[in-house]
Amino acid sequence: MVEVNDYLNVEDAMVRTQVELVEGTALTENLLVTSYRKSYLYGEWSNVKKVVDIHEFLLDILDFTRGLTREQLVKITHLPRTSIYVALKRLMEENEVITLPVLDRKRRGRPKTVFMTAF
């Protein structure tokens, strides 16, 4: 994990990475989540206590909640849907996340999938 001070001292990293302010929740207070292209800031810049990669962030949330759908992850994290999809795809390729279909279907269309940590 990158230390906050290390990240804040690297001005070059901030020039290359676009920072987007995201609405926080109890799980995401004073946090900077980084992905390949963007960083998502929860809270105020001066109060950031932790810098975490988006993959580690999603693993922590999935472990804490014991499984969520993509839609639920978007609502909880307030991150863009495509960022979550890309991160989940990588986590599934690395066998860190498993998927389970939701069996109680009452609607037509694509079935919902629950994502859970593999360990």
pTM, two decimals, is 0.74
Residue 7 clears pLDDT 50, i.e. is over it: no
Residue spans of the domains in the chain: they are 4-117
Q: Is the model more confident about 64 or about 96? A: 96
User: What confidence tens digit (pLDDT) does each residue in 17-71 have?
Assistant: 455 555 666 666 778 888 877 878 777 777 777 888 899 999 988 888 888 999 8
According to the model, what pLDDT value does residue 55 have?
A: 92
According to the model, what pLDDT value does residue 108 have?
A: 75
For the domain with range 4-117, which CATH number is right: 1.10.10.10, 3.30.930.10, 3.40.190.10, 3.30.10.20? Answer: 1.10.10.10
User: 3-state SS of the chain?
Assistant: CCCHHHHHHCHHHHHHCEEEEECCCHHHCCEEEECCCEEEEECCHHHCCEEEEHHHHHHHHHHHHCCECHHHHHHHHCCCHHHHHHHHHHHHHCCCEEEEECCCCCCCCCCCEEEEECC
